[in-house]
Amino acid sequence: MFYIIFIKTLHNEWCKIPENKPDIINNSYSATLIIACRNEENTIETCLNCILNDVDLSGITLEIIVVNDHSTDRTREVIKKIISLNSNQSVVIKMIELTDKSGKKSAIEAGIVKASYSTIITTDADCTFNKGWLKMMLEVFNSRKLKMLCGPVKLEGVGAFAGFQSVESAGLVVMGAATMHSKIPTTCNGANLMYSKEAFYECKGFSDNAMLASGDDEFLMHKMFSAFPGQVEFSKFEEAIVFTATENSFSGFLNQRSRWASKSSFYKDKRVRILQMITALFILSVFVNLILWFALQDENCMLLFLLMLVGKISVDLSYFRSFNNFFKLNNFIWLVPMMFIYQLYFIPVLLKSFGGSYNWKGRTTV
């Protein structure tokens, strides 16, 4: 019952988020885009070329700082090539090499130290962008006088596994937006994040979670949400969507989700942890009743399992329909089988979130 109420609340809060276009208060903006990358020789060129050639940069003075986090492939050479070929006079591209430290948070901090402008944007090296992405984010950020603006991210790929990831990821994005709107923020995505450089330092950046490999986005969002009430929002505009690729392998997918989940036990807001536990317990109970049904051949377990499963699918379908048009999920057909798959991968991810290691970009993190 608590799970159903929670999902319905997410649905309602998502629908309440304002979608009115921002008032244009300025015809010119300046910003620093920071891309922390490690072993991205196959993606960084596409990312930078998309920004330079496809994104509308009219009226925007943009500084791009690419921070190379000890890459062991040709990432460095690819970045240097793009810098040498850049002919866009309104865009300056710089590369910074991490030396003593490593990790995404150290990379972002190094970029912020070198940033020429007050407005900071972070994205990932494997992302591409809508034409109006940057202008929309800047207009919302400035017109609403925000300290942080969280943007939508969409996973794209081909096939059933990619379809599953796209739908599931969209659900997480909407959960982050909905809980943010309800004043109990949970999650956001560093692949599309804008904030004030001054606000970053006022919140002391990543100082209290630097030991964690992940969380450059969520922990910072939680701190800013607490420090600047009413000045952290979600950008609910299709133009603001950033695109990234789905994982090709199930092991890569598990590693990614384990990395995301590993942050949850360090959340300071107890309300967020309670919401997570309610969701986890419900999904676990569905799985347990399925096992008991087969193990004991108990009709009561069967009825309870079917009741919980039908209730979950029903409320989840309603939830996903609420944002299907926003993300243009042509693979919406994968939603129903996703309900069954979710029970299976949720267990190992949950266990890994409490301990264990995962591999990411050639590094094993404990």
pLDDT tens digits for range 49-66: 999 999 999 999 999 999
Residue 263 pLDDT: 65
Q: Mean pLDDT, to the nearest integer, of 293-319?
A: 85
Which tokens sit at 110?
Answer: 């190094």
Question: 119 with 30: CB under 8 angstroms?
Answer: yes
Q: What is the helix, strand, coil percentage profile of the chain, to 5?
A: 50, 15, 30
In angstroms, how far is CA 245 from the centroid of its own chain? 13
**pLDDT confidence tier of residue 75, bands split at 50, 70 and 90:** very high
Residue with more model confidence, 322 or 353: 322
Least confident of 19-28, 174-183, 291-300: 19-28
State the sign of the Cα–Cα–Cα–Cα dihedral 8, 10, 12, 14.
Answer: negative
Residue 133 pLDDT: 98
Does the pLDDT value for residue 362 go beyond 90? no
Nearest to 64 by CA among 16, 23, 134, 111: 111
Q: How far apart are CA 121 and CA 177, in angstroms?
A: 18
183 Cβ neighbours under 8 A, 6+ residues apart: none
Q: Give me the sheet containing 242-245, strands edge to edge.
A: 127-129, 242-245, 153-156
Residue 355 pLDDT: 56
Residue 284 pLDDT: 79
With vertex at residue 109, the alpha carbon angle to CA 107 and CA 111, rounded to the nearest 5 degrees, is: 70
Residue 324 pLDDT: 87
- Give the 3-state secondary structure of residue 57: coil
Residue type, 344: L
Q: Which helix (H) or strand (E) is 34 found in, with range?
A: strand 29-37
**Residue whose token pair is 């940033």:** 115
Least confident of 51-65, 75-89, 205-219, 275-289: 205-219
DSSP letters of 278-303?
HHHHHHHHHHHHHHHHHHH--HHHHH
Per-residue pLDDT tens over the stretch 89-117: 789 999 999 988 778 999 999 999 999 99
**CA terminus-to-terminus distance, the chain:** 35
Does the pLDDT value for residue 144 go beyond 80? yes
- Give the 3-state secondary structure of residue 241: coil
**Which CATH fold topology does 29-263 show?**
Spore Coat Polysaccharide Biosynthesis Protein SpsA; Chain A (3.90.550)
Q: How far apart are CA 4 and CA 319, in angstroms?
A: 10
Residues of the chain with CATH 3.90.550.10: 29-263
Residue type, 179: T
State the sign of the Cα–Cα–Cα–Cα dihedral 178, 184, 189, 195.
Answer: positive
**Residue whose token pair is 């959340």:** 267
Q: How far apart are CA 206 and CA 190, in angstroms?
A: 13
- Maximum separation of any 2 CA atoms in the chain, in Å: 71
Question: Mean pLDDT of all residues in the chain?
Answer: 86
Residue 236 pLDDT: 97
Residue 337 pLDDT: 65
- Give the 3-state secondary structure of residue 239: helix
298 exposed, middle or buried (CB, 10 Å; 0-12, 13-18, 19+)? middle
Cross-strand bridge partners of residue 155: 244
| DSSP E strand stretches across 38-129 | 60-68, 91-97, 119-124, 127-129
Which tokens sit at 215?
Answer: 């969380």
Does the pLDDT value for residue 330 go beyond 90? no
DSSP alpha helices (H): ranges in 144-298? 160-181, 197-202, 218-227, 250-261, 270-296
Q: Mean pLDDT, to the nearest integer, of 125-138?
A: 97
Does the pLDDT value for residue 29 go beyond 90? yes
Nearest to 346 by CA among 279, 301, 270: 279
Instruction: Classify the phi-psi angles of 238: left when phi > 0, otherwise alpha if psi is within -120 to 50, otherwise beta.
Output: alpha
